[in-house]
Amino acid sequence: MTDGEGTPKKRKSMAEYFDEAFPHYLAMGMTYELFWDGDSSLTKHYRNAFKIKQDLEQEKQNQFAWLQGLYIYEALCDVSPVLHAFAKNGTKPVPYTEKPYELKPRANNKDAAPSENEKENLIKRNVAMMQMMAAQFNKKMEQRQNEKRDAKSTEKGGDKQ
């Protein structure tokens, strides 16, 4: 085999391939002994295991991002009462949840029942959401009425002319 200029091209030896691959397998968690002295087919399994690990890690990161989004969404809902334009004086944001979500099901039903404080917060949050929705609805109605009024006045103006 030549490199196109007539000089023979040096073939890469197996040892060179091994030396190149070795650090990659170390990074995958394979030991020196397993790579060099052990069953040579083990590298296939280490590669497969590494792929599985990467997939699981990706899945975990996705779950984490989703949960974080949920907390941010909840925080925005909590603070929303004071954000809208027609908020009454003295309106306060709903307190942010006191503890993180339960990711595992609770051991017994007694624990599963929400505390008084939790219930109160839930009611406050629902009231705040209702108020926000009502304010938005009123705003839309007001806009429609104004549009109708404007349309009528332009019609009358046109008739007079």
Binding site for another protein (CB under 8 A): 13-15, 17-18, 21, 35-44, 47
CB of 66 to another protein, least distance (A): 30
Token duo for residue 97: 């949840």
Return the number of the residue (25 or 81) whose C-beta is nearest another protein.
25
Phi, psi of 8 (to 5 degrees): -65, 135
Give the Cα separation of 25 and 20 in Å (integer). Answer: 10
CB of 119 to another protein, least distance (A): 53
Return the number of the residue (25 or 78) whose C-beta is nearest another protein.
25
Give the Cα separation of 92 and 6 in Å (integer). Answer: 84
Q: Do residues 93 and 79 touch, judged by C-beta distance below 8 A?
A: yes
Return the number of the residue (20 or 150) whose C-beta is nearest another protein.
20
CB of 24 to another protein, least distance (A): 9
Q: Do residues 123 and 99 touch, judged by C-beta distance below 8 A?
A: no
Q: Do residues 81 and 92 touch, judged by C-beta distance below 8 A?
A: yes
CB of 18 to another protein, least distance (A): 5
CB of 141 to another protein, least distance (A): 60
Return the number of the residue (14 or 103) whose C-beta is nearest another protein.
14
Return the number of the residue (13 or 109) whose C-beta is nearest another protein.
13
56-60-61-63 Cα dihedral, nearest 10 degrees: 140
Token duo for residue 161: 């002319």
